[in-house]
Homo-oligomer: A and B are copies of this chain.
């Protein structure tokens, strides 16, 4: 990952600001011959789209994606397919509501990247956060939609597992209930608790943090490129690059610090079958064939109504409160983004594994690579 590109053989470069003309990405290195139209991408963008409830920003963006290159169809292709050349995606910004940015244009929201961008670049597009805006994640979600088609055997599922101090009991997670509520909550009993918490937060003009969990099912053994391109290292880097992320853990993660060796070791039986998954599906940076499980911590949005002490660009000490359309819990919009980044990283790992080794995996009991 460098600047605005991530991936190695499958490389995604995103661009665009919150209130510019458009945003988008270029996906380079996609295998040829994969069926792909806008209809394969749009549903994932719709899942991420703001303006769908009272707990997310009221900005109304259709987030309609267009494919500008890298696909082709004629009478022999059975529909539109990828050609192996770069796929350029564009999403126009529509609802850049005219407003007065004069306050944040010259001041640094505490906890926001305003000051860091100013210090580095001297100039910044402050309209809606510019390049720092979570709106950039739309491009990642679009890329993730294509990545999913590169690894059709892999299924991703995600949920919010904590909002503020209210964490879901892992034993109560029921993935089938995630879509039944507006909070991506996998425990129906937690839904009213979160609803009340968020309502309080929203009314107070405050915000709250959250934790998102994602699992990738169907990842075969052997993906990952030790030692620095380890699958878990790439996931950690990629997921930490999402706006507001402050922590990433794989499998048992931080909890494993308290484990004994006996508790931590995921025993194996014929299959191979594992009797536990503390490893989160990755050992030595290589997938084991178990579900790849990750959790990402998101801090609260820094744009809040409560006045906070800060500086303006002139160096004056001021107090600032941030008005406007903001998510009280950015984690509520992060599930599709974490899924998408995971999909992109896994697809890249698949292509690199196939490149170095020819693909497949050795099985205990022999028979070579299958």
Asked whether any CB of chain B lies closer than 8 Å to the CB of A33, the reply is yes
A252-287 CB contact bits vs B (8 Å, 1 = yes)?
111111111111111111101001001110111111
Across the interface, do B115 and A283 meet the contact criterion of CB distance under 8 Å?
A: yes
Asked whether any CB of chain B lies closer than 8 Å to the CB of A131, the reply is yes
Asked whether any CB of chain B lies closer than 8 Å to the CB of A336, the reply is no
A 351-370 contacts with B by CB, 8 A: 351-359, 361-366, 368-369
A79-92 CB contact bits vs B (8 Å, 1 = yes)?
00101111110100
Across the interface, do B267 and A309 meet the contact criterion of CB distance under 8 Å?
A: yes
A121 CA / B317 CA spacing, docked (Å): 44
Size of the A side of the interface (Cβ < 8 Å), in residues, is 169
Across the interface, do A356 and B84 meet the contact criterion of CB distance under 8 Å?
A: yes
Asked whether any CB of chain B lies closer than 8 Å to the CB of A193, the reply is no
| List of B residues within 8 angstroms of A123 by Cβ | 32-33, 72, 77, 81, 83-84
Most buried by B among A21, A88, A263, A303: A88
Across the interface, do B228 and A241 meet the contact criterion of CB distance under 8 Å?
A: yes
Q: Which of B3, B21, B232 contacts A11 (CB 8 A)?
A: B3
Across the interface, do A131 and B228 meet the contact criterion of CB distance under 8 Å?
A: no
**Interface 9-mer from A43-51, A103-111, A169-177, A181-189:** A103-111
A201-222 CB contact bits vs B (8 Å, 1 = yes)?
1000011111100000000011
Q: Which of B86, B285, B297, B304 contacts A241 (CB 8 A)?
A: B285
A286-323 CB contact bits vs B (8 Å, 1 = yes)?
11110000000111111110101111111111000000
Q: Which of B121, B275, B301, B310 contacts A32 (CB 8 A)?
A: B121
Given contacts A125-B83, A250-B247, contact A164 B113 (CB under 8 A): no
Asked whether any CB of chain B lies closer than 8 Å to the CB of A331, the reply is yes
Q: Which of B74, B130, B269, B303 contacts A311 (CB 8 A)?
A: B269
Across the interface, do A351 and B356 meet the contact criterion of CB distance under 8 Å?
A: yes
| List of B residues within 8 angstroms of A83 by Cβ | 121, 123-125, 130-131
Given contacts A4-B28, A241-B228, A284-B116, contact A262 B206 (CB under 8 A): yes
Q: Please, could you name 17 A-B residue pairs with CB atoms under 8 Å apart, sorted by A? A: A4-B227, A13-B86, A17-B85, A22-B88, A24-B88, A68-B90, A115-B268, A120-B362, A132-B226, A162-B258, A227-B241, A232-B245, A234-B237, A236-B237, A265-B302, A272-B311, A311-B364
